[in-house]
Homo-oligomer: A and B are copies of this chain.
């Protein structure tokens, strides 16, 4: 914004390339040369624009996290939708997000638990907790005997897990892309139904 040349697009180009590489290889697995090659920009420009690999990583990490929040929070805070509608909408949006960036869930889950203090700014997280959402309130009032945290974890987990687990999912060997996509589409339809069944079952 305050530069003279085509620097803005260079900076952007590096950041986008970094995002792709970090997503695929994680922090420790990514070399700055990978980012340089992926972006087509000179190696030195990475440090020129972003000071350090770690700093660049934190920026990318934060963007991904924000992207998730901005996709999810409005859905969970909609005062005009039912629990089931919120589930349908969240699963739909989140599956699309995962399909667009299949490496994202693995990346997040892997790096956020890491030793790195990414997303370190306590300011950023604000009170945008999923705990304080309308969804949470609806669950507590309509299903007072169910712990909402389980519902949330199960929903996110069932949505995300196929992208983490073609591995642990030993049964899906040789699953080509088409089969995987069909699998996901089945889940897009079923997950909200499954969650509702879990909620409505006899409370024992």
> Residue-by-residue, is A43-62 near B (CB-CB < 8 Å gives 1, otherwise 0)?
00000000000000000000
Contact residues in B for A165 (Cβ distance below 8 Å): 109, 153, 156-157
A28 CB → nearest B CB, Å: 4
- A162 surroundings in chain B (CB, below 8 A): 153
Q: Flag whether A5 is at the interface (Cβ < 8 A).
A: no
Determine whether the beta carbon of B109 is less than 8 Å from that of A164.
yes
Chain B residues near A114 (CB, 8 Å)? 25, 29
Contacts of A27 in B (CB 8 A): 29
Residue A149 is within 8 A (CB to CB) of chain B in the complex: yes
| Chain A contact patch, size range | 35 or more
- Interface majority SS (helix, strand, loop, mixed), chain A: helix
Q: A97 interface residue, CB < 8 Å from B?
A: no
Whose C-beta in chain B lies nearest to the C-beta of A169? B153
Given contacts A108-B167, A110-B26, A160-B168, contact A150 B190 (CB under 8 A): yes
Bound-state CA distance A33–B158 (Å) is 38
Interchain CB contact (< 8 A) of A156 among B129, B168, B183: B168
A175-204 with Cβ < 8 A to chain B: 183, 186-187, 190, 193-194, 197-198, 200-201, 204
A201 / chain B contacts, CB cutoff of 8 Å:
193-194, 197
Can you offer 12 A-B residue contacts whose CB atoms are under 8 A?
A26-B28, A26-B29, A29-B114, A108-B167, A109-B110, A113-B166, A113-B167, A150-B186, A152-B169, A153-B165, A154-B161, A197-B201
